[in-house]
Structure 1
């Protein structure tokens, strides 16, 4: 289990909002999953009064800032001024060059199609920044043929008091809100603001050329930045907050998982006198081309929202605007990075 206080430091411009009794649920989830994966890494909890630009500036002005940072706060692109997006992108680019990795969730309402009107997709920022890694969500597909839990199963799986339903299943699907037990659908789509970066053009073009069902071409800009980049399991996530246990679903969970993974990869890099990975998107897409089994390709699921079925995407082979390149196969990714 986690230590009572796995947080090495509380930093930011509004630290007075932090208490040792606990934090908001989304922050608890991020800290628990990140520290659970990268258990021996120094972890800081950011408490900020502002949004992305303020956050990036706080990191840039810090002494020895964390090398991996996750954030969950997103807003519709159209509600964020062009000036704000542009100046934030510059700061995100600086962080990447400094060896700092920034990750954000793709959102939990599919393409944000504005139900019940269903008039348009509404991509979110900073998900659509070309200088951030955006993470989508998947769920495990249980079956009657799953192997029973072994003696090495976590304690939360064995003790009834936690009310935690564990599984040994490994098949995944995109986190979907239609015809499922979830109220969230993994976010994804195409930016209305940012042009498509070179690093993802081949992967996205393969999706656009595929025969999979797509929304009408006039509802999204296929020439622009596509997201998410990758994904991870984000459903039925168990966490503890204010001494009580809960289950939840969301791409914030998935983002924390990737935060832990990049932290572990950085540890390997630094222990071998190499630089931290920094901005990882070009590396991820290159890895998918050269070592496809680094990712578990998710080919099942959709991110429609009830009532807006014409404004959602469907999973297919390769990159797609639900799960990106797929979920991580850590051992393969680790071996690939070691050879860099």
Structure 2
């Protein structure tokens, strides 16, 4: 017993000595930016007692192994196709080295944080703490300020540089919120309601020929309904199961609440068989389920109505994630200033043993406003989901090649690295190579819708599955086309597309029309969910990460879109063409053909 007490005392002394070492260790800059992005103006120093929720990312030394698993289980030509990993397996491959865990624990202990103060992710690769600004500034050797964005009226608490003790640099990948100035937003471009100037023109009668050679109601050129989408994408008559284990999910952020009364009214109009059914609500990071009619969210209503309406009776889930509230400088309470919310959603979903197999998100940000380190870590989380057999779709954006970031006066787009160089602005997370980015189309025959986000990532290199398709597009461009405005070696956006204009939804008790790639993502996800349904019924695993299948065996199941373009940044943008293009990707789904291909894969 005396020997045990001696060693315990010695261990405590060593821990205290190392904690003192961290506290006195010289800091070295970990990350910095030239200045706030265009539109943000530094104002007063942040209040010392303002609470920040710091997220600390520890390195993932085995991520390359997880990525290799992802490529193998997602490649229809590989012998391991469909052999998805378990939660425990992906956790192990994302876990930090114990040396990093110990080093960060000791550093946090030196600032008074006990184990019970730390919130750890399932893989232990993220640590979350709540601290006042004064302590964050001490820990990170920085100064936080309030920054104001004139166009939106938002204020946030951020800094342009932060430091860590030099001995911790190899044990910490990043700390946020620090240098991230993103304006995370829903991707809807236009909204008009019945009784006001509608997007739709006068109704049409008769039929027209759809991309699969089938008949489509001519009215679908004016108003998109559930029936239209099933006709256009050749899924009339396919019935999904409510009991085979297949599930679909939608994400909601920024106070976007899916209103059940609106959903019921939508079902009455467009899918009476679904009337009386609902979705599973899941709160993430304090997300709430406000069912007052005035709180209904356009994005949330659109997503749930069309995705759940198309896939009924497949069980649906709506994730409500709290995050990214604007800082209110004059508020008396010490409200927290949160991170961009993908990391919170990923923390939650990756901790669950059972995750819906097809998930759509109609939200995004300008890639350049999300620090590279943070974008990479979030993207890695999507890779883990893909390895577990989850298909993740993201809207590609609503600003064409500019993704909505053009200067209001000149319509030109600029880098935010201090050089103010004119450049196209890709969107994130659509630029992540482990998700399926969905662009937009309009009308039958389909053409690219003018706002369809597309282009090339400046963060992520072109993945192998895109090699032939994307290079073929680049080879068709006239020499010098937009030279210097985009990265020809980057991951191409989007991968696929779907209808994105004139969607008839119910919002706050009224019918109205909405447009945006926020329409196309849940639409494409619905047909992916139907493919999963067919594979499960056939005794096969779900599709998981889609892109290797879509760019190979699934290619003939997509309708190539060859007309239209996506203007932005003072240019006409890229043109749709034969094969993959940076406007509509590989094209839109032909469900019956895709089903045959998916069952044969």
TM-score, length basis structure 2: 0.48
Other-structure match for 1:174 = 448
Other-structure match for 1:164 = none
Q: Distance in 1 between matches of 2:277 and 2:468?
A: 41
Per-residue CA shift, 1:143-181, capped at 9, x if unaligned?
xxxxxxxxxxxxxxxxxxxxxxxxxxx3011001xxxxx
SS at match of 1:59: helix
Larger Rg: 2
The aligned length equals: 298
Structure 2 counterparts to residues 123-162 of structure 1, below 5 A: 123-140=426-443
Other-structure match for 1:180 = none
Other-structure match for 2:282 = 11
Q: Distance in 1 between matches of 2:289 and 2:279?
A: 17
Other-structure match for 1:275 = 541
Does 1:66 pair with 2:365? no
Aligned partner (choices 556, 570, 574) of residue 313 of structure 1:
574
Q: For CA contacts below 8 A with separation 6 or more, give which structure has more relative contact order.
A: 1
Deviation at 1:193, TM superposition (A): 0.4
Structure 2 counterparts to residues 17-32 of structure 1, below 5 A: 17-19=289-291, 21=293, 23-32=296-305
Other-structure match for 1:303 = 566
Deviation at 1:20, TM superposition (A): 6.6
Does 1:114 pair with 2:406? yes
Contact 1:213 1:314 (8 Å CA) reproduced:
no
SS at match of 2:491: strand
Deviation at 1:81, TM superposition (A): 1.3
Deviation at 1:72, TM superposition (A): 1.6
Q: Distance in 1 between matches of 2:277 and 2:562?
A: 36
Aligned partner (choices 378, 394, 402) of residue 104 of structure 1:
394
- Which piece of structure 1 moves more, 70-79 or 112-121? 112-121
Other-structure match for 2:136 = none
CA 1:5–1:16: 2 relative to 1, 3 Å: farther
Structure 2: 5+ residue stretches without partners: 1-269, 324-340, 413-421
SS at match of 2:580: coil
Q: Distance in 2 between matches of 1:72 and 1:247?
A: 17
Per-residue CA shift, 1:197-239, capped at 9, x if unaligned?
0001100011011156984221100111001000001111111
Per-residue CA shift, 1:245-269, capped at 9, x if unaligned?
0111111110011110111011111
TM-score, length basis structure 1: 0.83
Other-structure match for 2:587 = 326
CA 1:211–1:83: 2 relative to 1, 3 Å: closer
Q: Distance in 2 between matches of 1:78 and 1:93?
A: 21
Q: Distance in 2 between matches of 1:339 and 1:63?
A: 28
Q: Distance in 1 between matches of 2:479 and 2:310?
A: 36
Deviation at 1:276, TM superposition (A): 1.1
Structure 1: 5+ residue stretches without partners: 141-169, 177-184
